[in-house]
Amino acid sequence: MKVLRPADRSRSDGGSFDRTIPQPPQEASGFRVCLSSIGRFHFFALAVELARIGVLQRIYTGYPASIARKAGIPADRVASFPWLVAPGIAAGGLLPSQKLREAYNNAAHELHDRWVASRLDECEIFHGLSRYNLRAGMQAKRQGASYLCEVGSSHILEQIDIFEKGYGISRFSQRFPMHRLELERELAEYEQADRIIVLSTFAWRSFIKHGISESKLICLPPGVNVERFKPADHHRDGRGKDPFTVLFVGSVSLHKGTHVLVEAFKKARLAHSQLLLVGAVSPSMKAYLESLGAQNVRFLGVIPNAKLASYYRDASVFVLPSFEDGFGMVALEAMACGCPVIISTNAGAADAVEEGKSGFVVPAGDADALAERLTELHRNPSLTYEMGRQAAWSVRKSGTWKEYGDKMAGIYRQLIRMHHK
């Protein structure tokens, strides 16, 4: 898998920080790491790897401790504040207006931040996701730790810019769904953090565009569970499948570009084919996609992550057509299962694609380009087979969670050395 190495980029400040991803640590002792993430995201996987290495001091989570333990995190390393996540999920569907939902999210994130800050363990590294770790990050700095802010998407102002363009559908344009205080808090996190971690070239460029120095950025893509997500025991024979199955996994939304995918599927007019949309979809969005008139489009709803592997294995191609996506871990999961991918330029997972070998990268919002690539794979089963084989090999080679955890631990070590100079 292609890995973005920020050190390959030109230096802008002449500073001493080596942004090349360090080699895995040689010994476990010597520093402690505290993680903070209100949800699971990829932080549970990171916590498991840091515990393996021996540097995890604590993970602060909004999930119940039992879920963290089931994920493999040692019980004595989990601090849980589970009074926000479940009510927040319920509130998302019950609160009668977008403004009330934004106000709830802001209050919940602020409360999580205060909770972490009030009980933060001594550590050398505090690593928290953006939007709800400003107070905790500042407390970590007061305690002598380095503060790493991880941003799972592009720069928040870039997200707003893309959103306000309406994703190509002017009648859907509206105010960006984010409380003013949330926006202020995230921008403050960017400023106060010692380093900002992003997941992709796309995200990296958005931070440069909005004035963040390269010297403050670290880029490291996430990993994938290669034990869960792996090719079928039997090898594909290259003769193709009937029907030719195009798969999407994620929120079925304009943000993810699913309308572009439906339009491209309709334009391609692929014989004996189907488009499977896996993920939550609002009634209004489903109605809009159905109004586009594409045939053989199926809405499968939310499918648990543990059950997705069979869908990836049965698909002919996986498509992630996002207008804005800091990475898109579902693309790595599909690749690990031996499924070729088509990714938009605005999805960070494009970094993992070797063009023409493990998949294709197409411009975000370009239904014609997407239709052309779908047609190419449909007409050439042997190419589809070979791309899937290459995709699985590339992820297994360097995209595992162990690889990710070792690299992150190396980054921590480098920051600690700098901090104590």
Mean pLDDT for 35-44 is: 94
> Where does residue 325 rank: exposed (0-12), middle (13-18), buried (19+ CB within 10 A)?
buried
Report pLDDT for 26.
42
Q: How far apart are CA 265 and CA 321, in angstroms?
A: 12
Q: How far apart are CA 394 and CA 2, in angstroms?
A: 8
Check residue 174 and report its DSSP letter: -
pLDDT digits (tens, 9 = 90+) for 117-137: 999 999 999 999 999 999 999
pTM of the model: 0.89
Q: 421 pLDDT exceeds 80?
A: no
Q: What angle do CA 90, 149, 164 make, to 5 degrees?
A: 60
**Buried/exposed code over 52-75 (b: 16+ C-beta within 10 A; e: otherwise):** bbebbbbbbbbbeeebbeebebee
Report pLDDT for 170.
60
pLDDT digits (tens, 9 = 90+) for 302-328: 999 989 999 999 999 999 999 999 999
Mean pLDDT for 386-414 is: 94
**Same topology for domains 6-223+400-419 and 244-398, yes or no?**
yes
Place of tokens 């344009």: 173
- CATH code given to domain 244-398: 3.40.50.2000
Q: What angle do CA 86, 304, 390 make, to 5 degrees?
A: 135
Mean pLDDT for 98-113 is: 89
Report pLDDT for 179.
92
Q: 8 pLDDT exceeds 70?
A: no
String of DSSP letters for 318-340: EEE--SSBS--HHHHHHHHTT--
Choose among 369, 371, 347, 349: nearest CA to 358.
349
Pairing relation of β-strands 317-320 and 195-198?
unpaired
> What single letter denotes the amino acid at residue 269?
R
Q: How far apart are CA 129 and CA 358, in angstroms?
A: 30
Task: State whether residue 419 is helix, strand or coil.
Answer: helix
Lowest mean pLDDT among 3-7, 32-36, 59-63, 248-252: 3-7
Greater model confidence, 105 or 278: 278
Task: Work out the pLDDT band at 152, boundaries 50, 70, 90.
Answer: very high
Lowest mean pLDDT among 115-124, 337-346, 394-403: 394-403
Report pLDDT for 28.
44
Report pLDDT for 94.
67
Task: State whether residue 290 is helix, strand or coil.
Answer: helix
Q: 2 pLDDT exceeds 60?
A: no
Q: Which two structure tokens, joined as six digits, stand for 354? A: 């070797």
Segments of 16-142 assigned E as strands: 33-37, 56-61, 78-80, 125-129
CATH classification of 6-223+400-419, choosing from 1.20.120.1750, 3.40.50.2300, 3.40.50.2000, 1.10.3720.10? 3.40.50.2000
Choose among 106, 98, 88, 81: nearest CA to 185.
106
Report pLDDT for 241.
60
Task: Count other C-beta atoms under 10 Å from residue 7's C-beta.
Answer: 12
Q: How far is CA 23 from CA 42, 192, 285, 410, 411, in A?
A: 21, 27, 46, 6, 9
Q: How far apart are CA 77 and CA 79, in angstroms?
A: 7
Report pLDDT for 239.
46
**How many angstroms from the chain centroid is the CA of residue 133?**
18
Place of tokens 């090719």: 231
Domain definitions of the chain by residue range = 6-223+400-419, 244-398
Q: How far is CA 64 from CA 70, 82, 86, 106, in A?
A: 10, 5, 10, 20
Lowest mean pLDDT among 22-26, 137-141, 163-167: 22-26
